[in-house]
Amino acid sequence: MPPSSLSKQDFEALSTFRYQLRKFLRFSEEAAQSEGVTPQQYLLLLHVKGTPGRDWASVGELAERLQSQHHSVVALISRCEKLKLVQRRNSEVDRRQVNIHLLPAGERCLAKLAELHHAELNTLADIFRIPTINS
């Protein structure tokens, strides 16, 4: 295998970036758990609310956003339904498509967690930088 074209400084930048990213993800995991949801449940709520142009998302869109298998997202949605965070509704346009909508409890949970995440991101504004590699 040929030696890497990356410098020691490039490796340090990548290491620092991964460390900062992991610290933020750890914060996110702990914040979600403190609100009684799993990190994946928080992400599901976030992606439903954050779908561009509307307040709902299809199961397929959520699978893509979560980078997960369709059947895994269906199971995650079922767990969120049991917690009364989301509701499934058949699409009015295509009855084969199921759309996921936030319920009031999901809105409240997401609002609280999003505020915490926003505040945490603000504390990282001067630290969390995407490294420039080989430039």
Q: For 61-66, what is the mean pLDDT? A: 97
- What is the separation of C-alpha 98 from the centre of its chain, rounded to a whole number of angstroms? 20
Q: For 2-7, what is the mean pLDDT? A: 80
The pLDDT value recorded for residue 61 is 96
Q: Round to the nearest angstrom and report the end-to-end CA distance of the chain.
A: 23
Higher per-residue pLDDT: 7 or 45: 45
**Does the structure show a pLDDT above 70 at 131?**
no
**Does the structure show a pLDDT above 70 at 130?**
no
Question: E strands along the chain, which residues?
Answer: 56-58, 86-90, 98-102
Model pLDDT for residues 72-127, shown as the tens digit of each residue: 999 999 999 999 999 999 988 888 889 999 999 999 999 999 999 988 888 877 76
Averaged pLDDT score across all residues of the chain: 91
CA distances to 44, 57, 79, 113 from 88, in Å: 13, 10, 12, 22
For residue 109, how many other CB atoms are within 10 A of its CB? Answer: 22
CB 73 within 8 A of CB 59: yes
Residue matched to tokens 């869109």 = 61
The pLDDT value recorded for residue 135 is 52
Q: For 44-69, what is the mean pLDDT? A: 96
Gap between the Cα atoms of 90 and 96, Å rounded: 7
Prediction pTM value? 0.86
